Amino acid sequence: MSDVEGDVAVIADRETGLAFRSMGMQALHAEPGKTQEVLREASERYKIIFITEDLAQTVTDLITEYATQTLPIIIEIPSFEGTVGLGKKKMKRITERAVGADILFKEE
């Protein structure tokens, strides 16, 4: 990662992007089929990238590849359409790996 442009960006549909833009974040719109290209470009420019779960599902291999690196940090978030549970599943895996047990979501 070189010449980092900013700290945080979001890759999302237009509606979700507008919400983040109103908070002063850079919002990047990914057309269907272009998510991988947008994520690759964003990974060169931003330290933290939020991506809506629906878009994240289309680039899981690339997100897994970036997970082995220090930066960028990629965080899946729900869109205005709702959640598919990716963020929760990821937190569960991380917690189980760190602690050895599911201490966050064990009752669900």
What's this model's pTM, rounded to 2 decimal places?
Answer: 0.75
* Count of Cβ atoms closer than 10 Å to residue 39 Cβ: 23
Could you give the number of structural domains in the chain? 1
**Across 21-25, 50-54, 70-74, least confident range:** 21-25
Task: Give the CATH number, domain containing residue 14.
Answer: 3.40.50.10580
Answer yes or no: is 1 within a domain: no
Instruction: Please give the span between the terminal C-alpha atoms of the chain, in angstroms, as a whole number.
Output: 38
Answer yes or no: is 71 within a domain: yes
Cα 83–Cα 42–Cα 7 angle in degrees, nearest 5: 90
Residue 106 has pLDDT above 70, yes or no: no
Domain that residue 81 falls in: 6-99
pLDDT in tens, 6-17: 699 999 998 889
Q: Model confidence at 4, in pLDDT bands (50, 70, 90)?
A: very low
Q: Mean pLDDT of all residues in the chain?
A: 83
Q: Which two tokens stand for residue 53?
A: 């779960």
Answer yes or no: is 39 within a domain: yes
